[in-house]
Chain A
Amino acid sequence: MRHTLAVLVENNPGVLARVAGLFSRRGFNIDSLAVGRTENPDVSRMTIVVEGDDRILEQVTKQLHKLIDVIKISDISPEEYVDRELVIIKVHSDPARRGEIMQVADIFRARIVDLGRKTITLECTGNNGKINAFEESLRPYGIKELVRTGKIAMLRGLRFTSVNGQKDDD
C-alpha cells in the first residue's frame, strides 16, 4: 500500500537529515519526498510517500513523532485530497516529429519551456497517474533527461493540515 503523509516540521537546519536518517535507519522505503516552506515561515512541510502495510505505516508515524522537530503527521491517503507533481522532460526531436510531440503535450496540457535544434523540453503538472502516463507517451521519442519533483498534496475543502490541527475555517 502507498501512503501519502503530510509532515509538518520545525524549519530548523538539519531537519531533513533527521527525517532521512530515520527512514534509512529503520528500513522504511520512501517513494518520494518533497519539502518546502508553508504559510508559516517557521514551519516546513514534507510530503512523504511511503510504501508498506498498516503495521509499517504505524511505525513510520510513531517513529517520526519521536523526532522533536516533527510537529505533526497526517496520513491523508484515506481522505479527499488534491495532489500534484511537476515533471520536466527533455526529448529528442528532429523538426519532423516536433508536431507529434506537441500534440502529445496538448493532450496532457503540458507546456513547452525550451526548444533546441534537436531537443524539446516540456513541463507538466498533475497527479501521479497523469505524470506516469505523460512520461510513457513521450518515451517512444527518446527521453534525454527527466526530472520529477515528487508529490505534494493538500486536503480538500474545510479540512486542514496545519500546526493547530484540523479545524473549521470559522
Chain B
Amino acid sequence: MKMNGAQILVQGLLDQGVDTIFGYPGGSVLPIYDALYDANIRHILVRHEQGAAHAADGYARASGRPGVCLATSGPGATNLVTGIANAYMDSVPMVAITGQVPSALLGRDSFQEADITGITMPVTKHNYIVKDVKELAMTLKEAFYIATTGKPGPVLVDIPRDVSGGTMDYEDPGPINLPGYRPVLEGKEEQLNKAAAAITDSIRPVIYAGGGVIGSGAHQELKRLAELLMAPVTTTLMGLGGFPGDHPLYLGMLGMHGSRYANYAVCESDLLIAVGARFDDRVTGKIESFAPDATIIHIDIDPAEIRKNVRADIPVVGDVKIVLNQLLPRLEAKLSGAWQQKIDQWKKEYPIGYEEDNDKLKPQQVISAIYKATRGQARIATEVGQHQMWAAHYYTYTRPRSFISSGGLGAMGYGFPAAIGVQVACPDEVVFDIAGDGSIQMNIQEMATAVNYQLPVNVAVMNNGWLGMVRQWQELFYNRRYSCTELVNPDFVKLAEAYGASGIRVTRGADLKPALEEAIRNSGPVMLDFVIEREENVFPMVPPGESLGNMIG
C-alpha cells in the first residue's frame, strides 16, 4: 500500500501499542499532524514542548509503557531537551519524535533548523535522523526497542519534512538486527553463587534498592528477599514505592536527605545488596566512607554502572527481576537478631519528625494531611526542592509507580506536566503534584492543558516565598547571605481561576482537611496554595562532601 512517511510513522506507533502522545505542532511536523487527524491515537496538546516531554515521562513512569512526545523542528525540538535529559537520568522509556527541515535544507542554518541529534547526543540512549522514508518504519521499531529494553531511556527520532511527506509502498520492516546492542538479562551463575554465599555469611545485611526495582517490576521479589533474610531495606528517591513504606523492615530513604537510621544502617552494615541502584553522589555522600565495612553486591542491568562510583565486590549484571528470581532459590531464611534490634533502636531514637506549631502551617504537616486525605492511595508527582524531600518523607508509598519525581536531573518544573501524564495514564486515580512556589511557575502554562482535557490533577503548592532548598543551603553554608532566592509570586488562587481551574488557599492547619477533601472531590484541576512556614529546613541532612554518618539537624 502506498503511504507517506507520516502515515508510516503513525502505523508504527499503532504497532507499538501507542495510544497517547503529547505534542505541539509546527511547520515541520505538519504532515505528521495531518496523519494523526485520521488516526486512532489520542493527542494531548500541551502549551510548551517541555510540558510534552515531561508529561510523556510521567505517563511512562506511571504506566510502565513508553511515553511518546512530538515536536516541531528548531525551537520545538530544543524545548524538549530538559525533558529528554530528565528521562535519560532517570532511565525512563521514552520516544521523542521531532520534525526537521527538508533534507535539502539541512546543514544550512535554515529557518527553524536545529541539529537536534547532535544536541541530544549526550542525553539520549540513542538517536536517529531519518534520511530516507524507506528507513522510517525500521527506525521507529528500533527506537521503541532500545527505549524499552535493557536500561530504559529516551530515544529521539528526527524526521525531515520531505521524509514524512515522501511516499513509498509500505511493508513491514521485519525483525530488528542491532549487533551493537544486546542487553544481558540473566545473571551469571558464578556471580549468583558468590552473592548467595556472601548473603549467607552476612550478619548485618542491608538492601539498598533503587529505581531499577520499579523499572523491572521486581517489587515482589524484593519483598521476598527482604523477608527471607530479615534484611532492612532502604531505597533511593527513585526507589520509593519499590518496597512497601509501611513494612517493618523499611528504613526509608538514604543519602543526603535520608533518615538517620537508614544512613547509620548502611554505615554499619557488613553486606550491602544494591538492587537496581547506582550509587549516586546524593546517596553515597563522601565515597571513601560509604558502607566502609560492607561487602557490596551490585545487581544492575547496566554493566557500566558497576564500579563506576563505588567498589563492587560481587557484581551481577542482569535484569533485576530475573536476577532476584535466580537468586532467591539459592538462599535460606534467616532470623531476626541483634542487627534488627539495633535498627529498631535507631528508629526509636532518631525518628523522622518536625516541630509542630499551632500558629503556622508546617509543610510536613501538609504532606501528612495529603497522605491521610488520600488514604495513601494517590499517585504523587513532585517538583524539585524542599517540598520534594518532604513529599519523600511524610507520604508513605506502598506500591510501585506511585511516587513520580525527577531524581537524577532534579528538574524544577517537572512535576506538574508529569502529573498530567500520570493522570492521562491513570484516569481513575487521585493524582497530586507536590510543588514549590518556585517550581510550579516553571511550567504553569500546563494548567491550560489540564483544564482543556479536564484532568483532575491537584497541585499542592508549598508556598514559602523562597527558592527554599537553595535558601537552606545559603543559610547553612553561606552565612545566610540570601542571594537571589526570595520570590515575588503571583496570587496562585487567582491564577488558577484565570485558567478556569479552582484555587484554594490554606493558611491554617484546621483548614487542611476540608480543603483537601474539596480538592479531591472536584472533577477538574485544583491549585492548592498552602502558605507555609517560610524558613523551615529539610532535616536531617548530610552536608555536601560529608559521610553519611555525619548528619546535621
Contact = CB atoms under 8 A, between A and B. Distances in A.
If over half of A's interface residues share one DSSP class (helix, strand or loop), that class is named, otherwise mixed; here it is helix
B106 interface: yes
Give the size range of A's interface with the partner. Answer: under 10
Contacts of A26: 107
A24 B106 contact: no
A21 B107 contact: no
A117 interface: no
Interface centre among B106, B107, B115, B117 (most CB of A within 10 A): B107
Interface in B106-123: 106-107, 115, 117-118
Contacts of A27: 106-107
Contacts of B118: 21, 24-25
Nearest to B113: A25
Interface string A88-109: 0000000000000000000000
Contacts of B117: 24
Contacts, number: 12
Contacts of B107: 25-28
Give the size range of B's interface with the partner. Answer: under 10
A28 B106 CA distance: 11
A24 B118 CA distance: 8
A84 B118 CA distance: 32
Interface in A82-132: none
Interface string A15-31: 00000010011111000
Nearest to A25: B115
Contacts of A25: 107, 115, 118
A73 B106 CA distance: 24
Contacts of B115: 21, 24-25
A139 B115 CA distance: 40
A67 to B, nearest CB: 14
A144 to B, nearest CB: 17
Interface in B178-226: none
A26 B113 CA distance: 11
Contacts of A24: 115, 117-118
Interface in A127-150: none
Contacts of A21: 115, 118
A84 B192 CA distance: 51
A25 B109 CA distance: 10
A55 to B, nearest CB: 12
A45 to B, nearest CB: 24
A21 B120 CA distance: 12
A28 B118 CA distance: 14
Nearest to A27: B107
B163 to A, nearest CB: 14
Interface string A24-40: 11111000000000000
A24 B107 CA distance: 9
Nearest to B103: A27
B103 to A, nearest CB: 8
A24 B106 CA distance: 10
A168 to B, nearest CB: 39
A9 to B, nearest CB: 19
Nearest to A28: B107
A21 B121 CA distance: 10
A21 B118 CA distance: 7
B160 to A, nearest CB: 11
A28 B107 CA distance: 9
A25 B107 CA distance: 6
Nearest to B115: A25
B538 to A, nearest CB: 37
Interface string B60-74: 000000000000000
Interface of A: 21, 24-28
12 contacts: A21-B115, A21-B118, A24-B115, A24-B117, A24-B118, A25-B107, A25-B115, A25-B118, A26-B107, A27-B106, A27-B107, A28-B107
**Top 4 A-B residue pairs of the complex, sorted by shortest distance between their CB atoms:** A26-B107, A27-B107, A25-B115, A25-B118
